[in-house]
Amino acid sequence: MYAGDLVVAAAVPSYSDAWRERYANSRYLEFLSVDDLQKRYVDLLDNVLAFRPDGTPHFDGLGTDTGWTRRIADVYAEVDLRSLAAAWLKTVEQTVLDRPYANVKKAMQAFGSRRFTPERAVIKYGRRDHMVDLLEQGRLRLTPASNYDDPSLNPAIRDAELEFCTYLPPGTQFRIELKPGSGVFEDIFRIAGLIKYTNRCENYYVFCTSATFDPRAFDDFGYDACVLIHDFEELIERIKVQPAPARSLSAGSTVYLDPYMPHRAAPSVELMKHIRYEYQMEWRIFWTDPLPTPPLQPYFMELGNLSSFCELITL
């Protein structure tokens, strides 16, 4: 019996003999420790975790063949190749399901039948007193990106926002395009050992929101309120007329990248995040080329009352 022959594993369409063989020919997880393999499995499960109306967590979405299930199938294949027991996978899955999701049902009820317009609405999660200030005064806290790399923050918030690391396994073939745009490449060399490549950027200011309402966010972030911003374009217009702590203003959806699957066309580091955070669907406003002399300090804006296009939701 394969280690992946569990209820959850069996639901993954791509988990088959053919897929295991395909993975074995390009075993990109081979160099992870068991602890790191477990962390990757948790990261992937977090992105397929969902909740029933009563707040019960489940992985039913694994029955749909998506990019997540294919990556999970690779974890199953790696587990098989290492001869780890089926109980290992089940234990990891259970740790995700057994987390305390105390506020999920309450959050669903609080959101109720409100309208959320994709690609136009965003949500800012936070403490109730801060969210009241955001709604009534338009008080925004612009945070230096470096502040998020803080051990005191919970794992759902903490991140090294000034860098993104990619891992190239032994045997990775490097190629060069002979003439830009020609599409003709020449192999240069194959690397002999694991290489860690890090993209970095200078410190910047950021205001983080989410492009979805996720009832899990209140438990993950430790917050008790949020502001539903029905029109992020209106928010940006109000921001543009305010004094800013930096020369350049940008906004957009975060791009989530797999550090073990290098991408040719990656965004700027300010919009790169590890796939472990993808379920958060972050949409951010950020300010680069800051005016203050580093180290940067939090900066506050007051846009005025936002209740014409925003509403407060509390637990």
Of the listed ranges 27-31, 126-130, 186-190, the one predicted with least confidence: 186-190
Query: Regarding predicted confidence, which is higher, 81 or 194?
Result: 81
Q: Find the mean pLDDT for residues 40-67.
A: 87
232: which 2 tokens?
Answer: 């992020």
> What are the DSSP E strand ranges found in 75-181?
122-126, 139-144, 163-168, 173-177
Orientation angle between helical segments 86-97 and 34-46, nearest 10 degrees: 50
How does pLDDT run across 78-91, given as a tens digit for each residue?
Answer: 998 999 978 899 99
Rounded distance, CA 212 to CA 54, Å? 20
Q: What are phi and psi of 257, to 5 degrees?
A: -120, 145
Question: How does the average pLDDT of the chain come out, rounded?
Answer: 88
| CA–CA distance, 18 with 25 (Å, rounded to integer) | 11
3-state class percentages of the chain: helix first, strand second, coil last, to nearest 5? 30, 25, 40
- Please report the pLDDT score of residue 262 as a whole number: 72
Task: Measure the CA angle with vertex 26, ends 22 and 30; round to 5°.
Answer: 120
Nearest to 144 by CA among 286, 32, 15: 286
Environment class of residue 150 by beta-carbon count within 10 Å: exposed (0-12), middle (13-18) or buried (19+)?
exposed
The three-state secondary structure class of 260 is coil
pLDDT bin (cut points 50, 70, 90) of residue 5 is very low
Closest CA to 274 of 151, 116, 149: 149
Q: Quick one: tokens of 130?
A: 């801060």
Residue identified by tokens 């949409």 is: 283
Question: Running DSSP on this structure, what letter comes out for residue 248?
Answer: E
How confident is residue 169, by pLDDT bands cut at 50, 70 and 90? confident
Beta-strand ranges (E) seen in 145-266 are 163-168, 173-177, 185-190, 195-200, 205-210, 225-229, 246-253, 255-257
SS3 235: helix
Taking only the tens place, the pLDDT of each residue in 115-166 is 999 999 999 999 999 999 999 999 999 999 999 999 999 999 999 999 999 8
CA–CA separation, 254 and 280 (whole Å): 10
pLDDT over 80 (residue 16): no
Integer Rg of the chain from CA: 22
Q: How much is the pTM?
A: 0.86
Contacts of the segment 18-27: beta carbons below 8 A, 24+ positions apart: 19/70, 19/73, 19/77, 20/76, 20/77, 20/80, 23/73, 23/74, 23/77, 23/78, 24/77, 24/81, 27/78, 27/81, 27/169
